[in-house]
Amino acid sequence: MAALSSPIYAADPTPQITVGTQEVGLTAGYMLPHRLTQDHTTKQQGVALMPSWMMTLTDPIGDSWYRGQVSLGAEMVYIQFQEPFVTHGVGFTPKIKYTFVAQDRIRPYAEFAGGPFWTDLAGKTPEESSRFNFVLTAGFGVSYFLTDQAALNVGYRFQHISNGGTRYPNLGLNSSLPFGGFSFFF
């Protein structure tokens, strides 16, 4: 007869994120180009580093799989373009995020950010003529909570860099940015 042993329950880290909870994070990724039209010829690639800060604005809303919380924050974006030239870009983007909280430790999210972006790649490519631009980002990811205060994040972003029509040409640069990072909540 098989002996029944009582299961051992390890403590589950359920994050207690409420209104006012702050999140500080660091994300890194690699930019891969998308030439969406025939006029796009530049294949920009490079490493991206993005420290961020966010604050949760709402308690969980909704009752089903879409139950989630809204966070607002900002992110610094630093990109070192390695192709076609070694150049740099830095930007500041306010960001808004919706995190699905139906599960405890694994929390998918969707995010949107946009803000000013300065890069010296522009002027060297036919798509962009000015160094001062704007960057728009939309993406999704998953946070895996190692403890109730710390999480690992992985995800994907689509980025569009253009100068908003302030100077021509302004085809814009589009790219995919798979990323990974961590966040700390307090």
- Residue numbers of the site for other proteins (CB under 8 A)? 18-21, 55-59, 61, 70, 72-74, 92, 94-96, 115-116, 132
Distance CA 157, CA 116 (A): 17
Three-state DSSP class for 162? Answer: strand
Residue that the structure tokens 């192709």 belong to: 83
Residue 67 or residue 105: which is nearer to other proteins going by CB?
67
| Beta carbon of residue 61, minimum distance to other proteins (angstroms, whole number) | 4
Distance CA 115, CA 135 (A): 6
Length of the chain: 186
Residue 134 or residue 182: which is nearer to other proteins going by CB?
134
| Beta carbon of residue 92, minimum distance to other proteins (angstroms, whole number) | 8
| Beta carbon of residue 112, minimum distance to other proteins (angstroms, whole number) | 9
- Tokens standing for residue 168: 């021509």
- Tokens standing for residue 99: 């995190």
| Beta carbon of residue 151, minimum distance to other proteins (angstroms, whole number) | 17
Residue 115 or residue 178: which is nearer to other proteins going by CB?
115
Closest C-alpha to 52, from 71, 33, 73, 68: 73
Residue 57 or residue 102: which is nearer to other proteins going by CB?
57
Residue that the structure tokens 């790649």 belong to: 121
